[in-house]
Amino acid sequence: MKVVVTGAAGQLGQDVVLELTRKNHEAIGTDRNQLDITNEAEVFSFINEVKPDVILHCAAYTNVDAAEENEDLAYQINASGTEYLAKAAQQIGAKMLYISTDYVFDGTASEPYEVDEQTKPLGAYGRTKLAGEELLQKHLRESFIVRTAWVFGIHGHNFVKTMLRLGEERGEVGVVHDQVGSPTYTVDLAKFMVELMETDKYGIYHATNSGVCSWYEFAVEIFKQAGLNVTVNPLTSDQFPRPAARPNYSVLSKKKIEERGLTSLRDWEDALTAYLQETKNNI
């Protein structure tokens, strides 16, 4: 299949392009230099010229804190950009998969969020990503929405890299223990996305690695697997204030992946091991 990947220079996008190539699809990666998704005419022109079978939409405004100050810009990228791509996909009969987020929920649940659970974003980032979901569904009756969380991969900035850097610099770090979720390795998420786009099993999916931990537990496991002797001090969210509120509970139910006969993502500890090995191999 011919597949356009937006955000192809990003943390997830790079692994998506690699996975498409591995599965013998024709990957056409775009970043903001090749395609400005906030320009409707440019989107229509590009998609009509390339005529892809599938659009994998990874491009996003993901700076959660900055979005509080720049909600208009976040909306242009996360919502309007998604709408333009959806309209272009609809026009040429292409499939489209949109990456969304756990931030569409308010984090007050005590058991994993199902795909049809009531959404209630806490901040600008979640609001704009949810708007993207709604605009996609408005223009494409059949589409894929994949909500994910706590993403880490070799190509971008992420929590694992930050912890390893701080651990080596300081030997002691403080990490919040009252925010709980599931880490997601970009290699595993990319595999799921490509598997899903090869089907007609449309709908909303939740895709993270299996298992649950707090950020504190994630940090402890990172240092353990990396063989670093670092003291990790548990903090409350109140002790680590940020401009944007974070959901305290971000665990997403992956039940639909199993129900639809798709491949579940491995445990997050195993994914972390694979990531650290990949990092070593790329030094």
Catalytic residue among 98, 103, 113, 125: 125
Q: State which H helix or E strand residue 166 sits in.
A: helix 159-170
CA distances from 76 to 59, 147, 176 (A): 12, 19, 31
Residues 6+ apart with CB under 8 A from 195: 262, 263
Q: Which residue, 88, 9, 15, 89, is CA-closest to 53?
A: 89
Beta bridge partners, 234, equal 175
93 Ramachandran zone, left/alpha/beta (phi>0; psi -120 to 50):
left
For residue 61, give both structure tokens: 């405004």
Q: Does residue 275 carry a catalytic annotation?
A: no
Q: Tell me which amino acid residue 139 is.
A: H
CB 127 within 8 A of CB 106: no
Q: How far, rounded to the nearest angstrom, does the alpha carbon of residue 160 sit from its chain's CA centroid?
A: 15
Using DSSP's 3-state secondary structure scheme, residue 110 falls into coil
CB 191 within 8 A of CB 19: yes
CA distances from 112 to 22, 42, 45, 227, 247 (A): 32, 39, 41, 31, 13
Using DSSP's 3-state secondary structure scheme, residue 9 falls into coil
Q: Which residues are annotated as catalytic?
A: 125
